[in-house]
Amino acid sequence: MAWAPDNVRKWSTLTLLALMGTTLTAAINPGFSAIISQKGLDFACQEGVTELQKELETIKVPNFSGIFKTKHLGKGSYEFYSMTVEGFHIPNPRIRLLLTDKVQLSIKDASIKIRGRWKSKKNFLKARGKFDLSLQGVFISADLQLGRSPPGRLRVECSACSSHIDRVHIQISGSMLGWLIRLFHKKIETSLRNSINEKEGPLWSMEQGDGKVVARVDEMAAIDYSLLTLRTTVEFLEGQLKGEFFWRSHHDPLPTTPPAMSFSPNKSYMVQLGISDYFFNTAGLAYQESGTLQMTLRDWMLPKDSKFRLNTEFLGTFLPKVALKFPSTEVQLLISVSSPPRLSIQPSGLLLNPALETQAFAVLPNSSLIPLFLVHMNTTASLEVDTEADRLVGAMKLEKLTLELKQSDFGSFKVELLQAVVNYLMPTIVLPKINERLRKGFPLPLPAGVRLNNPVFQTYQNFLVLGADVHRT
């Protein structure tokens, strides 16, 4: 009966709740760090029990048969078959952290109910019936070594595994033969124990292949949540993850390295996630590389009651040559980043200084574009982060915006004349589009169906820490 170590594998996956399924690579500073406390392990333990019980209720107990010999009846045959698990009760499950990157999983005082059929034959004498079997005092213990296997999927190896059954109680119908009950008791217990022992062995292993090593963000970007290092203490299980965005078309080495992250674990949270500014800044690199950090503004996007229009008549107020050469012509603005946006995490908050440019074009009747001028936008912004379900979400707020004329094909002009236009466009059209995307968020490396609860953020120099409990939806 394959219900001991094989199904404890379910537990080993949930034990790594904070690590959330990863690959392993060379040890460098992480972009993302995950710590799970004993409180979190207790949650994982209960989740594991739920999964284990579901699995146990679907197993098939192997049939067994044999020859019996009694003093009065001589030799005959027997068979026990059609055995199914009717219930499994686990009152005292436990996951305990050990040093040297180990966890210990144990089930204590569990009970199993099995129902099946039996039959016996001696020459022309036949007997058959049903039985109910109760196994009590079931104990299972496994020490799991956490490690890796090429090409880097998380590997769990069982260095020690033991199990036993204290008591077996039987109710049998269809016969009043006491010898059959005693035979059943002995044979069923021996068979069950032998089946468990066959599965134990000195070492079994599993490779976690269902974790989110790479989390898809959208059509352009994904996040590499590969595990860099793993360690256990008597109170915490800690994994350092790569935490790196990349353009899905290709994944080249990045020209930046993560800063060091160090913070004191807090056992009042189930999970703590350390998120480096490297994590956010690789997002900027990936999206700039993909060419998606730009936005085109057209006149139809402006409210009807706007005090100005995106056309050459309006530009003629400070660039008369444009109005003369392109009368009654629509103007198009292309806002883009000139370099990857960089986020700075400080104890006071999250600051963003995107290097923005605005290129103005005249849109001719045949839809061709004539460049007019290029303006650099010096921008200071702040970012607020939060969680929603299993995602990290954000909202950006503009703090300061000034303009600098970089190039004009129709003569220079005072950018102050354009400032009012930009001051209107950014909070009215551009910023809402940015925040719409930020509200969609980015996936955190959580198992399917697991959500963060009561998140608390704290910012440090170059990284922030998210402390939270978890629950299953």
What is the spatial distance between Cα 52 and Cα 133, in angstroms, rounded to a whole number?
20
Q: Do 202 and 301 reside in the same domain of the chain?
A: no
**What is residue 107's predicted lDDT score, i.e. its pLDDT?**
85
**What is residue 132's predicted lDDT score, i.e. its pLDDT?**
86
**What is residue 13's predicted lDDT score, i.e. its pLDDT?**
40
Q: Do 87 and 231 reside in the same domain of the chain?
A: no
Tokens of 246: 């990349």
| Partner residues linked to 278 by β-bridges | none
Lowest mean pLDDT among 169-178, 361-370, 444-453: 169-178
Total structural domains within the chain: 2
Q: Comparing 330 with 189, which gets the higher pLDDT? A: 330
Instruction: Label residue 75 by pLDDT band (50, 70, 90).
Output: confident
Query: How high is the mean pLDDT of the chain?
Result: 82
Q: Comparing 63 with 315, which gets the higher pLDDT? A: 315
- Diameter of the chain measured on Cα atoms: 121
**How many alpha carbons fall within 13 Å on the CB side of residue 253?**
2
Q: Do 224 and 203 reside in the same domain of the chain?
A: no
Structural domain ending residue among the three candidates 186, 207, 228: 207
Q: Which residues contact 218 (CB under 8 A, 6 or more apart)?
A: 440
Q: Do 184 and 242 reside in the same domain of the chain?
A: no
Q: Tell me which residue of 301, 286, 191 sits closest to 247, measured CA to CA.
A: 286
Instruction: Label residue 67 by pLDDT band (50, 70, 90).
Output: confident
Residue 211 pLDDT exceeds 80: no
User: Quick one: average pLDDT of 459-472?
Assistant: 94
Task: Look up the domain containing 404 and give its range.
Answer: 214-472
The CATH number assigned to the domain holding 458 equals: 3.15.20.10
The CATH number assigned to the domain holding 136 equals: 3.15.10.10
User: Quick one: average pLDDT of 248-271?
Assistant: 86
**How many alpha carbons fall within 13 Å on the CB side of residue 67?**
4
Structural domain ending residue among the three candidates 145, 179, 207: 207
Q: Do 185 and 224 reside in the same domain of the chain?
A: no
> How many other CB atoms sit within 10 Å of the CB of residue 68?
16
User: DSSP label at 382?
Assistant: E
Q: Tell me which residue of 200, 224, 199, 220 sits closest to 212, measured CA to CA.
A: 224
**What is residue 181's predicted lDDT score, i.e. its pLDDT?**
54
Q: Do 173 and 232 reside in the same domain of the chain?
A: no
Instruction: Provide the 3-class DSSP secondary structure of residue 312.
Output: helix
Structural domain ending residue among the three candidates 151, 183, 207: 207
Length of the chain counted residue by residue: 473
Q: Tell me which residue of 347, 452, 349 sits closest to 396, measured CA to CA.
A: 349
Q: Do 188 and 225 reside in the same domain of the chain?
A: no
